[in-house]
Amino acid sequence: MGSEAPVPTASGRREPSLREVLLMLAAVFAAHLLAVCRVKSFWEVVASWGDNQDYLDIVTVLRQWHFSGGPLPSHFWGFPYAIAAMSKLFSMPELLALVMISMLASVAVCILVHRLYGGWVAAATLVFLNYQWILTCIEGGSEPLFVCLLYASFLAARSGRWTFAAALASLSTTVRPVGVFALVSFAAVLAWRKSYRQLAAITCMGLAVGVLYVVPVWMILGNPLASFTAYRDAAWAWDPHGWLVTLPFRAVVSSYVAGFHDTRWTVLVICTVWPVIALTGMAAMWLPRGHQRFLPFQQEAVFASMYTLFLLTFNAPEYIVWSLPRYLIPVVPLLFFALRDWIPRDRRALWGSALLSAWLAAAAVVSFKNVFGFRLP
């Protein structure tokens, strides 16, 4: 089984090379940083951005090997471990380490996606509407590290290195628990192939990484499942006794209707487009043409389907529809690979969209007017 995806060129246009995709990423970074830094100090933005402070609080717990009390941040510890390690190894401030990991991981993701799915998918992943990816790559977040580990596990699985793939997927689960879907997809494919020895090996690997994760949590917090509990309590804050999943689209529709009258039309459009893309891409994976495309690496199609179905049934009516663009980041390359025939082959459109995405991401930080010079109606 080959390690790279076939890259058909039915349009007659040459696939973007890795160098071109990385150059596009550099242009996106530069355009975004320029737009943000004209208005605010970048480090002031990063210090208060998203969940960064929560991750740094966990780094403090790890560094002191003691929890002094108070509310425990509801995040898994894989990303803070990476921050603490980079900060220690290179003697850099933890905030700088957080940003460096996010940026370097995003570069690695570009390389992995280009190798796995080709240049058009790699370029489209950078630019198509999902400016949330740019925000997590530059302002910082756990997504770049998670996606890097996830797609590295896919690459390892394609070459038959299932134990190494399981190790990477298990590490991704310490960053974001939904990485467990990758392990389940590997197990499903191996079981279908009746490769029971490899199935046992990846099961042992997953259990080993899980034990190594919970032991420090147990030593510091006195409860091996403390981070799981904190994550659960935050996820179901509106309904502590609710179910993890509900009927398909029930929470998505409820969330959309609840915010319809007090949300900008631009946000509504984006939050409508992404569920459509997710459903269309997932369906395309299993239609004859898409199924043939994914046939050499069914584990990726299984992962994308399970992950997307989970999001569309996730019982979070308070916010799920507004978070879908960010939550779908891990499967965007897979969705675009299934829909690759629809990706524009005009490089001017790709480069223009790349810059627009960079500025839209900046607008989410410093306001639309400060970036584009006018307000949206």
What pLDDT score was predicted for residue 9? 45
What pLDDT score was predicted for residue 105? 97
Over residues 288-303, the pLDDT tens digits come to 887 788 878 899 999 9
In angstroms, rounded to a whole number, what is the distance separating the alpha carbons of residues 113 and 343?
Answer: 15
Residues 6+ apart with CB under 8 A from 316: 235, 238, 251, 255, 323
In angstroms, rounded to a whole number, what is the distance separating the alpha carbons of residues 331 and 329?
Answer: 6
- Which residues in the chain show pLDDT less than 50? 1-2, 4-12
- Rounded (10°) angle between helices 18-37 and 94-117: 150
Mean pLDDT of the chain: 87
Q: Which long-range contacts (CB under 8 A, 24 or more apart) does 35-44 make?
A: 35/358, 35/359, 35/362, 35/363, 35/366, 35/370, 35/371, 36/362, 36/365, 36/366, 38/370, 39/366, 39/367, 39/370, 40/365, 40/366, 43/95
Tokens of 197: 């020895």
In angstroms, rounded to a whole number, what is the distance separating the alpha carbons of residues 339 and 284?
Answer: 7
**β-strand partners of 245:** 314
What pLDDT score was predicted for residue 6? 45
In angstroms, rounded to a whole number, what is the distance separating the alpha carbons of residues 256 and 355?
Answer: 29
Residues 6+ apart with CB under 8 A from 282: 304, 305, 308, 309, 335, 338
Tokens of 12: 């007659």
What is the three-class DSSP state of 3? Answer: coil
Residues 6+ apart with CB under 8 A from 172: 78, 146, 149, 150, 153, 179, 182
Over residues 86-110, the pLDDT tens digits come to 999 999 999 999 999 999 999 999 9
What is the per-residue DSSP string for 287-354? SHHHHHHHGGGHHHHHHHHHHHHHHHHBS-TTTHHHHHHHHTGGGHHHHHHHTGGGS---HHHHHHHH
In angstroms, rounded to a whole number, what is the distance separating the alpha carbons of residues 185 and 3?
Answer: 18
What is the per-residue DSSP string for 80-119? HHHHHHHHHHHT--HHHHHHHHHHHHHHHHHHHHHHHH-H
